[in-house]
Chain A
């Protein structure tokens, strides 16, 4: 039986890169401390700021919401969770039920946006009628709604549950394919512009997917235990993930060093980030960022529904009330 490196009681996790075994209590401290340290190290959030937390109900977003809620009093953060019901049948219904239960347990008031009610169509219909893959449509919709909500509610930043095992394979894939500029998008923080583009932060930048899973289990929090019906686990992404897994097994901490080095590079190239943002314009329908006169979301919904849904979504968000946890 492995023993906790701090107190000698039964360990629930071995962390090879940190050369530590930790019990439940000390692992919770470790995980939340690591999130707080990431926020400080990369300047993700400042004291007194409000942060919109994207919570899907999966282990990663539940871990993010829980850790941020735990450290919020010390950093005087205002946590505003938002869940988007994507209309993916039983999977979305299970996700909503998990989010409600997590919100109740953590004592947070979560906003729920039902995509079908707000837009007039859910992901399957938007995907089928636009002839685009559901994951591409889903990503576009989520990015749009999160940014729109942050702008409408005057929130300082949007936090997402991307951890090192989401980001490292994607970074490596982009490097292998020669798309170095995509690396900029994988920094722990991307700058925003008031009233237009929300700052995006990744407080789980230095934790692993396995740590997220163990954290939610030891915290006794529910999480969605089924796969999204659209999940595809093959292709180059799966091979790169497998490679990084094997590499980190033999050289513990290599993934972390890789992402730290990437963060440094991305920070050093902040002028590139500014250039990318300077290329953005405002969508003629909804006024939010776009690379052309119509943003991706308004273009998609206009094509599928006959009219752009951006202005409608912004209006729905303005009137949205949170679920009360207590």
Chain B
């Protein structure tokens, strides 16, 4: 499966590939991206996801780092 993540505020795009899988928990996605559960907010289709939610093949998510931007 392939999931694309746009990371803010640094505006980086990362593609996560997990061959042979159809779904992935958000917690796993965050581990792949190197974030702790409460260090970011993952958003899909304008809705925040919790670490228990899953993303599926082809999903595009936004990942917002929780830190002051200015």
B70 within 8 A of A: yes
- Nearest-neighbour CB distance to chain B for A186, whole angstroms, equals 15
Given A217-B43, A245-B38, A245-B39, decide whether A60 and B68 contact each other with a Cβ distance below 8 A: yes
Collect the chain B residues with CB atoms within 8 Å of residue A166's CB. 68
Number of interface residues of B (CB under 8 A): 25
Collect the chain B residues with CB atoms within 8 Å of residue A224's CB. 69-70
Asked whether, in the complex, the Cβ of B9 is within 8 Å of the Cβ of A227, the reply is yes
Interface hits, A206-233 → B, CB 8 Å:
209-210, 213-214, 217-218, 220, 224-228, 231, 233
Asked whether, in the complex, the Cβ of B70 is within 8 Å of the Cβ of A210, the reply is no
Cβ-neighbour of B8 out of A2, A225, A245 (below 8 A)? A225
Collect the chain A residues with CB atoms within 8 Å of residue B70's CB. 56, 58, 91, 95, 224, 227-228, 231
B56 within 8 A of A: no
Asked whether, in the complex, the Cβ of B9 is within 8 Å of the Cβ of A245, the reply is no
Asked whether, in the complex, the Cβ of B69 is within 8 Å of the Cβ of A245, the reply is no
Collect the chain A residues with CB atoms within 8 Å of residue B8's CB. 225-226
- Nearest-neighbour CB distance to chain A for B49, whole angstroms, equals 8
Given A210-B38, A231-B70, decide whether A218 and B53 contact each other with a Cβ distance below 8 A: no
Given A210-B41, A227-B9, A227-B10, decide whether A2 and B50 contact each other with a Cβ distance below 8 A: yes
Asked whether, in the complex, the Cβ of B50 is within 8 Å of the Cβ of A11, the reply is yes
CB-nearest residue of chain B relative to A228?
A: B70
- Nearest-neighbour CB distance to chain A for B65, whole angstroms, equals 9
Asked whether, in the complex, the Cβ of B36 is within 8 Å of the Cβ of A249, the reply is yes
- Give Cα distance in the complex from A301 to B22, angstroms: 61
Collect the chain A residues with CB atoms within 8 Å of residue B37's CB. 249
- Nearest-neighbour CB distance to chain A for B7, whole angstroms, equals 11
15 A/B residue pairs, CB under 8 Å, sorted by A = A2-B52, A2-B53, A12-B47, A13-B50, A24-B47, A209-B66, A217-B46, A217-B64, A225-B11, A226-B69, A227-B10, A228-B69, A231-B70, A249-B36, A249-B37
